[in-house]
Amino acid sequence: MSDLIALLRGSLAAGEPAALVEIAEIKGSTPREAGALMLVTPRGIAGTIGGGALEFRAIDAALVMLADGRPDEIMELPLGPELGQCCGGWVSLHLSVADGACLARLERRQAEEAAARPSILIFGAGHVGRALAQALALLPFRISLIDTRAEMLAGLPSEVETHVAALPESLVGEAPAHAAYAVMTHDHALDFLIAEAALRRGDAAYVGMIGSATKREQFRRHLVRGDLGESISRLTLPIGGSSVKDKRPAVIAALAAAEMTSCLLLRQQEIVTDRLAAAPAGCNSAAAG
């Protein structure tokens, strides 16, 4: 969304025309979901509605619409017979001229989507913690990396929020509902405190801890003593699973990022789908964004 907004802002400042292409409705198998956006200008394109022949057809139509001076257009395209795409579904596209009001609506939508992003709290800025934060930085999450050592939190992507905490476990109680927790500090006892606090919340979308089968058994015994024995079934330990026998930090991070993405985005997809169904985001809609 950021690149789309930047392109539109630049086009408006330069007095150049721009068209917003939105997937208004889908049926069957399609490359993108309803609500996906693409901006088309004579000098550039941002966003995507799925690529391939569908996107090429939409770009051509948007440029023709701008050249003809028309304010909007509806395109209904069967992907298989019309475009030769193997998806085989059906897509309705809404093309509209993007103006200042459209920019404001897109900025509001971006802010709303950012506020609704699922949260991931990574405890421990060692090799794996930093690799995990970097792996997640390109994904639609709010990422926090937490450590007791300030020097470990430098040099990370701007998308990663960093927190120095003397008592990291205390931040679990302040986390948003349905957050994910990845626990990988330099201290096993601290790992246990953080993971136990996350499991006690009862609303965590994911609780993962770095470690071995032996560490899992030790933690299970710890939970039993604290009347939380059954909660071990909600703990992912080791993070990233055990099928890939590779302990390089970047590999562990990639596997753990995939686990968390599946857990968090399945729930987020339901929320976003409901919101888009209630309020389409097209630039000519008063309810947009």
Complete DSSP assignment for 18-69: -EEEEEEEEESS-SS-TT-EEEEETTEEEE-S--HHHHHHHHHHHHHHHHHT
pLDDT recorded at residue 161: 96
pLDDT recorded at residue 283: 47
pLDDT recorded at residue 83: 64
pLDDT recorded at residue 281: 44
Enter the pTM of the model.
0.76
**CA gap 248, 255 in Å, rounded:** 11
170 Cβ neighbours under 8 A, 6+ residues apart: none
**Tokens representing residue 126 in the block:** 């060692």
**Secondary structure E strands in 132-230:** 142-147, 160-164, 180-183, 206-209
**Tokens representing residue 9 in the block:** 């802002």
Cβ–Cβ under 8 Å, residues 202 and 231: no
Cis peptide before 118 (omega within 30 of 0): no
Task: Report the DSSP beta bridge partners of residue 3.
Answer: none
Q: Where are the domains of the chain?
A: 2-114, 119-269
Instruction: Tell me the residue type at 200.
Output: R
Instruction: Tell me the residue type at 244.
Output: V
Cβ–Cβ under 8 Å, residues 40 and 19: yes
pLDDT recorded at residue 270: 58
Digitized pLDDT (tens) for each residue of the chain, 289 residues in all? 889 999 999 999 999 999 999 999 999 888 899 999 999 999 899 999 988 888 999 999 999 999 999 999 999 988 876 666 666 788 899 999 999 999 999 999 989 888 888 999 999 999 999 999 999 999 999 999 999 999 999 999 999 999 999 999 999 999 999 999 999 999 989 999 999 999 998 899 999 999 888 898 888 888 888 787 787 888 898 898 878 888 899 999 999 999 999 888 876 665 554 544 444 444 443 333 3
**CA gap 67, 42 in Å, rounded:** 10
Cβ–Cβ under 8 Å, residues 133 and 145: yes
CATH superfamily of 119-269: NAD(P)-binding Rossmann-like Domain (3.40.50.720)
**CA gap 56, 102 in Å, rounded:** 23
Token look-up 């993108």 returns: 32
